[in-house]
Amino acid sequence: MGVPEKLAARMSMAEQHEYLRARFSRRTVIRGGAVTLGAVAGGAFVPGATAQAAVPTQSTAPAVESVDGALVAPFGRHLAYGGDPRTEMTVSWQVPVAVKKPFIRIGAHPWDLSRKIEAEVRPLYTPAGVGASGDRTQYYLHARLTHLRPGRTYYYGVGHEGFDPAAPHLLGTLGTFTTAPRHAEPFTFTAFGDQGVSYHGLANDSLILAQNPAFHLHAGDIAYGDPAGQGKTSDTGFDSRVWDQFLYQTESVAKQVPWMVSYGNHDMEAWYSPNGYGGEEARWQLPGNGPDKKNLPGVYSFVHGNTAIISLDANDVSFEIPANLGISGGTQTKWLEAQLKKYRADDDIDFIVVFFHHCSYCTSTAHASEGGVRQEWVPLFEKYTVDLVINGHNHVYERTDVIKGNAVAKKLPIGGTAYPETDGVVYVTAGAAGRSLYAFSADQSYEGHEKDLESVNSYVCQKDGAKQNETVAWSRVRYLDYSFLRVDVTPAAKGRTATLKVRGIAETGAQVDHFTVARRAK
């Protein structure tokens, strides 16, 4: 019971949202989309740190009385860095029903959780008639911790009135996290996109936890509550309960590894807010330091050691799926260039990694390459010699040679080394995290099963749904099974070579690709 299909095809995300607001009664539509509350700044271990209490937002969702808190256990814990990973962390979680006085306890030891900080509640109401789970409220909670010590491991527990994680019988519910170090040192991070809820998604989570990453990058299409992925409210298959399943599935790793997400086409949900991200703003607390927190909450950056990470929202530039095309009015691209320029001028930063959903370069038959990304961002990646670009969208693993000017600047065989300062940029599609797999137009070629092809036939998505055919020579590795990316970062003394050692790892644990990105340390 969303926007009629023919009408939705002519409407932007914001127009569809306004249509729904007019169609549904005031009793059932949440005012202004997602509930957004004042941030909770929780201090830990530094004098002067404070906690600001959350103030509930008004909502037209039906009033719900809270139950006995002793009967309700939190679930779906997930972490996210703040703007400074050395001193800021957000702990987020869910409860299945309304509870009273939610909080987090935090300390340096599991037996010392005396610091108690009030949590922020973001109830998310899905109006009646929306998809398969309408007239339902989900409860997301967030505690933003500031003034943390760099390179420290903290213990924490989340609770509410009637459920105190410091109680002896609940100590098993405690989690841990570690802040980024003050100075550069070796670390590992992982990445993938297009996960959803499945056995394969769960298996990849297990493998990622075993890598002991400092953080994880999720390149969009997170849970697939909206299975259509067109950013249209006419999708009757939407089910908000999928998010409950996803966060429960992910908790085993995300409760101790910051889960840094970008937003894909399946993450636009028009019934919550004009930009489609109202639901995401209820579920996630991201750094919020991008150019447009209102329209692009998934755009941000952070620095871990000698590596800068930039998350972009490719829905803003997507020709293929235009529901949010142009939503930033060009501010995202301007911000991206400013960030790249700033990081390249920083003597403490060696590497820049950019991740987002739609593919810069991919030959999968499902979506192939996104023309909007090539037009808006690829020239900037080359101008500022970005070291690694990670995408999802296509449910495959594919890795390019080194690219400059839309052509192969240098072949990069498995086990090879790229030098971005002189060579160009390497692009990896890591979209086989758990959702159903796509296909290639050419034979697979991966570690131990290499097939060197001179060219591969593919296409680029253009405006108005057009597909421009192309024959490419840059498709170096193609693997069609569930997998993820592991990146080992090794800093170096000034004048010596710092490295990113990148590996594609299959759900079986087998290595399907490896290469190195090298740069002289400043």
| Cα 68 from Cα 142, distance rounded (Å) | 21
Terminal Cα distance for the chain, rounded: 57
Q: Which residue has the tokens 């309700």?
A: 72
Query: Does residue 332 share a domain with residue 284?
Result: yes
Query: Does residue 211 share a domain with residue 113?
Result: no
Query: Does residue 408 share a domain with residue 351?
Result: yes
Q: CB count, 10 Å around CB of 169?
A: 6
Query: Does residue 137 share a domain with residue 282?
Result: no
| CATH number (domain holding residue 136) | 2.60.40.380
The answer, yes or no, to whether residue 324 has pLDDT greater than 80, is yes
464-499 pLDDT, tens digit each: 889 999 999 999 999 999 999 999 999 999 999 999
Question: What are the strands of the beta sheet with 369-370, ordered from one edge?
Answer: 369-370, 456-461, 467-472
pLDDT of residue 3: 54
Number of compact structural domains in the chain: 2
Helix 241-254, helix 199-210: angle, nearest 10: 20
Among the listed residues 281, 233, 240, 232, the one whose alpha carbon sits nearest the alpha carbon of residue 34: 281
Query: Does residue 512 share a domain with residue 370?
Result: yes
Report the pLDDT averaged over residues 286-314: 97
Q: How confident is the model at residue 11 (pLDDT cuts 50, 70, 90)?
A: low
Q: How confident is the model at residue 15 (pLDDT cuts 50, 70, 90)?
A: low
Domain boundary residue, one of 176, 202, 225: 176
Report the pLDDT averaged over residues 349-360: 98
Domain boundary residue, one of 176, 201, 224: 176
pLDDT of residue 61: 60
Residue 113 lies in a domain: yes
Q: How confident is the model at residue 520 (pLDDT cuts 50, 70, 90)?
A: very high
Give yes or no for a contact between 330 and 373, defined as CB atoms under 8 angstroms apart: no
Query: Does residue 397 share a domain with residue 288?
Result: yes
The answer, yes or no, to whether residue 319 has pLDDT greater than 60, is yes
> Is this prediction's pTM over 0.85?
yes
Residue 28 lies in a domain: no
Query: Does residue 164 share a domain with residue 203?
Result: no
SS (H, E, C) 401-445: CEEECCEEEECCCCCCEECCCCCCECEEEECCCCCCCCCECCCCE
User: Which residues constitute the domain of residue 228?
Assistant: 190-520
Query: Does residue 140 share a domain with residue 254?
Result: no
Q: CB count, 10 Å around CB of 147?
A: 16
The answer, yes or no, to whether residue 38 has pLDDT greater than 60, is no
pLDDT of residue 129: 86
Residue 12 lies in a domain: no
pLDDT of residue 33: 29
Count CA atoms within 13 Å of residue 511 on its CB side. 11
For residue 268, the one-letter residue type is M
pLDDT of residue 251: 97
Query: Does residue 97 share a domain with residue 52?
Result: yes
Q: Between 30 and 205, name the one with better pLDDT.
A: 205
Residue 13 lies in a domain: no
Least confident window among 170-179, 187-196, 231-240? 231-240
Domain boundary residue, one of 124, 153, 176: 176
Residue 295 lies in a domain: yes
pLDDT of residue 65: 64
pLDDT of residue 271: 86
The answer, yes or no, to whether residue 9 has pLDDT greater than 50, is yes
Q: How far apart, in Å, are the Cα atoms of 296 and each of 46, 324, 352? A: 32, 10, 21
The answer, yes or no, to whether residue 516 has pLDDT greater than 70, is yes
Query: Does residue 496 share a domain with residue 436?
Result: yes
Give yes or no for a contact between 113 and 155, defined as CB atoms under 8 angstroms apart: yes
The answer, yes or no, to whether residue 358 has pLDDT greater than 60, is yes
Residue 504 lies in a domain: yes
Query: Does residue 140 share a domain with residue 248?
Result: no
Percent of the chain with pLDDT over 70: 87
Residue 145 lies in a domain: yes
- Paired strand residues for 475: 400
Q: How confident is the model at residue 67 (pLDDT cuts 50, 70, 90)?
A: confident
pLDDT of residue 114: 87
Query: Does residue 168 share a domain with residue 245?
Result: no
Helix or strand holding residue 189 (H, E): strand 187-192
Residue 140 lies in a domain: yes
Residues near 449 by beta carbon (within 8 Å), at least 6 away in sequence:
none
- Paired strand residues for 104: 117, 158
Report the pLDDT averaged over residues 2-23: 56
pLDDT of residue 504: 98
| CATH number (domain holding residue 333) | 3.60.21.10
Give yes or no for a contact between 503 and 483, defined as CB atoms under 8 angstroms apart: no
